């Protein structure tokens, strides 16, 4: 039997330390704990970051366990379970906003619609549950990509397809957009998938702090935009709705 | 924010496990919800009781909490409506207002022997023509009879009207307004009310030994019963009472003949509005008033209950442990294309409507080496749809109308696969409304109508919106073949129990 591979052992030791009480450690802390040169630890961290097993906190520069690793450790949230838990809040969002509601989860690099509430105006509408939508051209998709850097990278390996003139097809622009979505806590799609359709979405977070889905509304610009900008009161409803679902899933109340 | 206009209706949903208060605005939007559970008391196997004083305290508390949560005052409410668990039985002293015994829950089976004695050689359908119900332990009459027989001196005090009987609606209205009354839908579940006259029936009272002096006056479901006399709700008009399933029918906007709703929970309740006439069922469905609004003539409904629907999914989760949570059954069921020829008839304690066979027990039919857990999950979900189809067919035959759309509510409506399959096997659209709280909404509607907050049922229809709709898309041949197989599976459940089985 060949000997153990030293770099994997060292990487595992880093992950163990990051899963400990402090959770966020800098290169110096880790190097000290492991008794290794800073340069070696930094190299290991860069590789772990690349595969999504660790993430670097933008403000402090410290490292923490990455989403990809957390996804592996616990089964992802079943879409049918998410719909059941979200039912009251999605109905409430449709009632308050007067618009159709949808909830999506990532299915590889696309968005799978797991729940759809009709716009409450009794017009003819068809249930969209089970539909796959392109992630980069939808508000729900952009929220999910913004919180899943690994899949965002995967998506950017191929050309981004244009669905309308407004679809973001430039990879750098999409990366900027995802950073913005992550920072502001919501995403908008203004005619990027279907001309004349506007959508907003906000993240649904579970008790581990992972973004497991996104909930939002969609409708015509005449109702969803004011002076070509997202209407603040609708954004508030979407974000509150998504927060309520997150609370239902056991995310820390905030 | 101070306002001069009263803009809200409160509904109290007093249920088997908890008491809830929901507050709705003029567009029937839910603005507040508060809930409190109460103790279940099990003095002996098969006996289930609750403390009526505890429930009363909880009701007062949840209304106050709901108001506080959204910073409303009692003066912001135009009215309060009650929807309640049906059949549960309370007797209290007129003077002190104190219950003489715990409430006997509808689930309690202590009257099993008594019910058989009352039925005698005529069998359980002895009074069906009179009251629309078979003799069974659920209903209030036998429970009241048991109390009158067992508590020393109670019958004498009942004859003088010193003690009063009521179902949950009566108990709450008494405590709120000081008046002793009940509504037609609740009275219809006592086995003591005549369906034709909508009044207490002397033959039924005699059969169960119940003195008329202890009974509440039977009033419409939507009418101002009185104002709250004291406590935190002082001054609010109590303006509606309905049994929970009838409230759900009303809350679903099923105001016209031919409209029906089914509430999918552990078990399921399908109510079908038959209009101004009570329809007697030839397949053992219950005949019941649906609602009576003020002086208008009452509307009636046929009611079919399905004992095991969500309970089968729970059984699949807890006893077979093939899934970790109930919603996961959809994921498992979607792992296969169809049921693989497998059918699951959950006759766990016999077959109910429309078969009524207590000698039946559950079967899984059509098993082959090909069947996987995915096929079993499909069969579990499909069982709910096929059982609904059997009840709908019986109703269509009894009412000589055919269902054109089924309105659904309850937890299982989150299951898309099931809802689509339901539309497929019923061959009618299945529609989920935006306001899922149909029981409370029905009570709020009835109360709002009584005080003129809403002018009429047409105005209420405008509040009803589809949240989702599933259209039938199954090949008719496939539907017919599936139903044929289901019926063959049902046939295989019968004649299972033998005389020497210990049950």
Q: Is the pLDDT of residue A254 over 60?
A: no
Can you tell me whether residue B337 is helix, strand or coil? Answer: coil
Which residues touch B86 (CB under 8 Å, ≥6 apart)?
B106, B167, B185, B186, B189, B243, B244, B245
Which residues touch B425 (CB under 8 Å, ≥6 apart)?
B382, B385, B386, B388, B389, B474, B479, B482, B483
Chain B contacts of A125, Cβ < 8 Å? 466, 469
Distance CA A103, CA A114 (A): 6
H/E stretch holding A31 = helix A27-34
Residue A98: pLDDT band with limits 50, 70, 90: very high
For B225-280, the three-class secondary structure string (H helix, E strand, C coil) is EEECCCHHHCCCEEEEEEEHHHHHHHHCCCCCCCCEEEEECCCEEEEEEEECCCCC
Contact A88 B416 (CB under 8 A): no
For residue A99, give the chain B residue with the closest CA: B467
- Of chain A, the percentage scoring pLDDT greater than 90 comes to 57
Mean pLDDT of the B52-78 span: 92
Q: Shortest CA distance to B365 belongs to which of B498, B208, B485, B200? A: B485
Q: What was the pLDDT predicted at B3?
A: 46
Peptide bond connecting A61 to the previous residue in cis, omega within 30 degrees of 0: no
Mean pLDDT of the A25-45 span: 91
Distance of CA B439 to CAs B12, B29, B31, B62, B318, Å? 9, 14, 16, 16, 28
Highest mean pLDDT among A155-159, B13-17, B388-392: B388-392
Contact B331 A84 (CB under 8 A): no
Residue B469: pLDDT band with limits 50, 70, 90: very high
Chain A contacts of B416, Cβ < 8 Å? 80, 83, 127, 129-130
Nearest-CA distance B233 → chain A (Å)? 27
Residue A210: pLDDT band with limits 50, 70, 90: confident
Q: Which residue has the tokens 């397949």?
A: B283
Highest mean pLDDT among A26-35, A101-110, B51-60: B51-60
Distance CA B342, CA B349 (A): 21
- A34 has a chain B CB within 8 A of its CB: no
Q: Shortest CA distance to B293 belongs to which of B458, B165, B154? A: B458
Task: Please give the structure tokens belonging to residue B30.
Answer: 């839910």
pLDDT digits (tens, 9 = 90+) for A111-143: 999 999 999 988 889 999 999 999 999 999 999
Higher pLDDT, A207 or A83: A83
Chain B contacts of A88, Cβ < 8 Å? 436
Q: CA torsion B44→B47→B53→B55, rounded to 10°?
A: 120
Contact B414 A91 (CB under 8 A): no
- A250 has a chain B CB within 8 A of its CB: no
Task: Please give the structure tokens belonging to residue B241.
Answer: 């009472």
Helix ranges, B307-372 (H)? 310-318, 328-333
pTM, two decimals, is: 0.83
Residue B52: pLDDT band with limits 50, 70, 90: very high
Highest mean pLDDT among B168-182, B263-277, B313-327: B168-182
Distance CA B138, CA B132 (A): 14
pLDDT digits (tens, 9 = 90+) for B278-311: 999 888 899 999 999 999 999 999 999 888 899 8
Nearest-CA distance A215 → chain B (Å)? 16
- Gap between the terminal Cα atoms of chain A: 52
Can you tell me whether residue B9 is helix, strand or coil? Answer: strand
- b/e map B222-250, b = 16+ CB within 10 Å: bbebebbeeeebeebbbbbbbbbbbbbbb
DSSP character string of A147-201: T-HHHHHHHHTSPPPPSSTTS---HHHHHHHHHHHHHHT-EEEESSSSTT-EEEE
User: What is the count of residue pairs from A and B with beta carbons less than 8 Å apart?
Assistant: 64
- Other Cβ atoms within 10 Å of B66 Cβ, number: 23
Q: Which of A23-37, A91-105, B211-225, B395-409 has the lowest mean pLDDT?
A: A23-37
- B203 has a chain A CB within 8 A of its CB: no
Distance CA B356, CA B379 (A): 22
Residue B502: pLDDT band with limits 50, 70, 90: low
> What average pLDDT is seen over chain B?
92
DSSP character string of A103-132: EEEEETTEEEEEEEE--TT-------TT-E
Let me know: does B69 contact B12? Beta carbons within 8 Å. no
Q: Shortest CA distance to B94 belongs to which of B147, B185, B26, B166? A: B166
- Of chain B, the percentage scoring pLDDT greater than 90 comes to 74
Let me know: does A92 contact B22? Beta carbons within 8 Å. no
In eight-state DSSP terms, residue B371 is -
Chain B contacts of A124, Cβ < 8 Å? none
Q: What was the pLDDT predicted at B350?
A: 84
Q: What was the pLDDT predicted at A3?
A: 76
Distance CA A161, CA B89 (A): 66
Q: Is the pLDDT of residue B499 over 50?
A: yes
Sign of CA dihedral B104, B108, B114, B120: positive
- Of chain B, the percentage scoring pLDDT greater than 70 comes to 99
Q: Is the pLDDT of residue B149 over 80?
A: yes
Q: Is the pLDDT of residue B107 over 60?
A: yes
Which residues touch B16 (CB under 8 Å, ≥6 apart)?
B85, B88, B105, B106, B107
Q: Shortest CA distance to B18 belongs to which of B41, B32, B48, B39? A: B39
Residue A75: pLDDT band with limits 50, 70, 90: very low
Q: What was the pLDDT predicted at A208?
A: 78
Q: State ipTM.
A: 0.79
Q: What was the pLDDT predicted at B1?
A: 43
Task: Please give the structure tokens belonging to residue B25.
Answer: 């605005």
Distance of CA A74 to CAs A52, A77, A78, A155, A206, Å? 15, 9, 12, 24, 12
Q: Count Cα atoms within 13 angstroms, Cβ side, for B211.
A: 17
Q: Is the pLDDT of residue B12 over 50?
A: yes
- b/e map A84-99, b = 16+ CB within 10 Å: bbbbbbbbbbbbbbeb
Distance CA A111, CA B22 (A): 35
- B461 has a chain A CB within 8 A of its CB: no
Higher pLDDT, A66 or B72: B72
> What average pLDDT is seen over chain A?
89
Q: What was the pLDDT predicted at B143?
A: 95
- Gap between the terminal Cα atoms of chain B: 62
Length of chain B in terms of residues written: 503
> Helix (H) and strand (E) counts for chain B?
16, 23
Q: What was the pLDDT predicted at A71?
A: 61
Residue A228: pLDDT band with limits 50, 70, 90: confident
Let me know: does A83 contact A115? Beta carbons within 8 Å. yes
Q: Shortest CA distance to B398 belongs to which of B353, B465, B341? A: B353
Residue A155: pLDDT band with limits 50, 70, 90: confident
């Amino acid at each position: 039997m060949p000997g153990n591979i030293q770099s994997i052992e060292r990487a595992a030791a880093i992950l163990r330390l990051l899963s400990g009480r402090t959770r966020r450690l800098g290169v110096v802390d880790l190097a000290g704990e492991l008794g290794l040169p800073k340069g070696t630890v930094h190299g290991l961290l860069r590789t772990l970051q690349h595969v999504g097993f660790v993430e670097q906190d933008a403000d402090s520069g410290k490292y923490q366990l990455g989403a990809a690793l957390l996804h592996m450790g616990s089964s992802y949230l079943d879409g049918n379970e998410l719909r059941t838990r979200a039912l009251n809040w999605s109905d409430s969002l449709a009632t308050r906003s007067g618009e159709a509601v949808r909830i999506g989860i990532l299915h590889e690099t696309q968005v799978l619609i797991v729940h759809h509430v009709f716009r409450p105006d009794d017009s003819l509408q068809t249930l969209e549950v089970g539909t796959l939508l392109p992630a980069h051209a939808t508000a729900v998709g952009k929220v999910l990509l913004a919180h899943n850097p690994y899949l965002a990278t995967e998506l950017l390996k191929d050309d981004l397809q244009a669905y309308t003139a407004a679809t973001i097809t430039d990879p750098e622009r999409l990366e900027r957009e995802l950073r913005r979505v992550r920072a502001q806590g919501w995403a908008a799609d203004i005619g990027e998938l279907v001309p004349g359709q506007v959508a907003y979405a906000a993240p649904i977070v579970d008790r581990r702090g992972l973004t497991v889905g996104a909930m939002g509304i969609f409708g015509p610009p005449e109702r969803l935009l004011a002076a070509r900008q997202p209407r603040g009161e609708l954004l508030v409803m979407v974000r509150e709705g998504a927060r309520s679902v997150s609370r239902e899933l056991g995310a820390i109340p905030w | 924010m101070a306002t001069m206009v009263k803009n809200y209706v409160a509904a109290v949903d007093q249920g088997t496990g908890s008491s809830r208060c929901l507050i709705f605005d003029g567009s029937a939007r839910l603005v507040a919800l508060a809930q409190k559970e109460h103790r279940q008391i099990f003095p002996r196997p098969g006996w289930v009781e609750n403390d009526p004083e505890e429930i009363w305290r909880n009701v007062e508390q949840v209304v106050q909490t709901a108001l506080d949560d959204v910073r409303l005052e009692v003066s912001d409410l135009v009215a309060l409506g009650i929807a309640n668990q049906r059949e549960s039985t309370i007797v209290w002293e007129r003077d002190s207002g104190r219950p003489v015994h715990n409430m006997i829950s509808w689930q309690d089976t202590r009257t099993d022997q008594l019910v058989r004695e009352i039925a005698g050689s005529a069998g359980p359908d002895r009074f069906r023509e009179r009251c629309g119900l078979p003799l069974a332990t659920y209903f209030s009459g036998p429970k009241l009879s048991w109390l009158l027989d067992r508590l020393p001196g109670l019958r004498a005090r009942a004859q003088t009207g010193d003690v009063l009987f009521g179902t949950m609606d009566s108990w709450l209205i008494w405590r709120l307004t000081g008046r002793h009354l009940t509504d037609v839908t609740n009275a219809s579940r006592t086995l003591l009310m005549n369906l034709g006259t909508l009044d207490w029936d002397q033959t039924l009272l005699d059969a169960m030994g119940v003195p008329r002096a202890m009974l509440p006056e039977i009033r419409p479901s939507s009418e101002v019963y009185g104002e709250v006399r004291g406590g935190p709700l002082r001054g609010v008009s109590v303006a509606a009472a309905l049994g929970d399933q009838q409230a759900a029918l009303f809350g679903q906007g099923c105001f016209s003949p031919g409209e029906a709703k089914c509430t999918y929970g552990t078990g399921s309740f399908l109510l079908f509005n038959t209009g101004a006439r009570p329809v007697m069922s030839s397949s053992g469905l219950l005949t019941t008033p649906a609602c009576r609004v003020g002086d208008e003539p009452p509307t009636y409904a046929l009611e079919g209950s399905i004992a095991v629907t969500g309970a089968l999914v729970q059984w699949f989760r807890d006893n077979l442990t093939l899934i970790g949570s109930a919603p996961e059954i959809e994921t498992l069921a979607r792992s296969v294309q169809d049921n693989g020829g497998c059918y699951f008839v959950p006759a766990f304690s016999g077959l109910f409507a429309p078969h009524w066979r207590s000698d039946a027990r559950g079967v899984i039919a059509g098993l082959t080496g090909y069947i996987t857990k995915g096929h079993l999950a499909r069969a579990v979900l499909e069982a709910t749809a096929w059982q609904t189809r059997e009840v709908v067919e019986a109703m269509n035959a009894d009412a000589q109308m055919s269902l054109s759309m089924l309105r659904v509510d309850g937890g299982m409506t989150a299951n898309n696969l099931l809802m689509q399959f339901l539309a497929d096997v019923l061959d009618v659209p299945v529609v989920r409304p935006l306001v899922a709280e149909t029981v409370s909404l029905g009570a709020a509607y009835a109360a709002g109508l009584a005080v003129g907050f809403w002018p009429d049922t047409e105005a209420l229809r405008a509040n009803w919106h589809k949240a989702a709709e599933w259209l039938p898309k199954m090949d008719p041949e496939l539907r017919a073949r599936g139903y044929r197989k289901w019926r063959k599976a049902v046939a295989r459940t019968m004649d299972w129990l033998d005389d020497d089985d210990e049950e």
